[in-house]
Structure 1
Amino acid sequence: MDADGSHQPEQLHLLLTALGEADLVIGSRYVRGGSVVNWPLRRRLLSRGGNLYVRLLLGISVRDATAGYRLFRRQTLEKIDLASVESTGYVFQTDLVARTLGAGMTVREVPIEFIERERGDSKMSGAVATESLKLVTRWGLRERRARLSRSARRTR
């Protein structure tokens, strides 16, 4: 949950309820019923485009892999290899979604209303966006190579 007021505590019960049937619950801006309030067009495009890129490269169906409003079961965090996490910026959110799904666990998204902060500055920078782009590309290519390798072994 962001501490700048973007994520509303009044919506926490939605995530808690969904945690009964999932290993990770994401408060999603991009599922039916979710929304973003007061974001400029550039921010909306960057967020939507980034999430589309994540879905295409990583082959996951999560619509808001970059969201920060989320709940994990303790067992989920114990099962995924947190020591090998290589991301430091916002892509950390995506990394944990991919690791959760890769470990065969379930991710559920529930709609939330995300409200742009009233104070403070975004931590999103060119360096953060570059890290995200590089790591998602690396993970996507690694997964594609692994799939091709498995496929080639089956056809021999």
Structure 2
Amino acid sequence: KWALDKGYKYIYEMDADFSHNPDDLVRLYRACNDEGADVAIGSRYISGVNVVNWPLSRVLMSYFASIYVRMVTRMKIRDATAGFICYKKEVLENIRPAQIRSRGYGFQIEMKFAAWKLGYKIVEIPIIFTDRKLGTSKMSGGIFSEALYGVLRMKIRSFFIRYKKK
């Protein structure tokens, strides 16, 4: 909301612990500004698995969660839980808060799903994700179940929500 109120044309989301390389911001920007994407996702899975320093269990959980999301939603996005994204302002202006219910990692999925349902062009840009060197993950069983069941709930709700651009 703050970025929209300030009138920024592009709004970015990324991890602040350097898991996402700030140098890749330019690549996301170019995908939106030069190549016509409305949403550019820094994807860990568009060209294989590009994750450094994660335990295998975490890589597999994230990778298979993205497959699950693709199966349930029919979105073609390979990294549905990615948190490294460039949105054109118009996309965020058209996603109504009522369309987004999740608070954990499911939030990432719902934002992409709403943009997809609204017909925005979404592209994935390959990145290398490096796990944080400091701090701890917020991943928990509760967050995992919210994402798992939240995807089904989101898909069912989508039959009753009218996705329409302003």
User: Normalising by the residue count of structure 2, what TM-score does the alignment of the two structures yield?
Assistant: 0.82
1:134 is matched with 149
SS at match of 1:108: strand
Where does 1:140-155 land on structure 2 (aligned, <5 Å)? Answer: 140-142=155-157
Q: Name the structure with the higher helix share.
A: 1
Q: Which residue identity lines up with residue 70 of structure 2 in the other structure? A: R
2:140 pairs with 111, 117, 125, which one?
125
Aligned-residue offset at 1:139: 2.3
RMSD over aligned Cα atoms: 1.8
CA contact (8 A) 1:58 1:143 kept: no
Structure 1: stretches of 5+ with no match in the other structure: 147-156
User: Normalising by the residue count of structure 1, what TM-score does the alignment of the two structures yield?
Assistant: 0.87
Percent of residue pairs identical: 42
1:87 is matched with 102
Structure 1 runs (4+) greater than 2 angstroms displaced: 139-146
Number of paired residues? Answer: 146
Aligned-residue offset at 1:26: 0.3
What is the alpha-carbon distance in structure 1 between the residues aligned to residue 105 and residue 19 of structure 2? 15
Where does 1:3-82 land on structure 2 (aligned, <5 Å)? Answer: 3-20=16-33, 21-32=36-47, 35-82=50-97
Radius of gyration: which is bigger?
1
Higher RCO by CA contacts (8 Å cutoff, separation 6 or greater): 1
CA contact (8 A) 1:23 1:73 kept: yes
Structure 2: stretches of 5+ with no match in the other structure: 1-13, 162-166
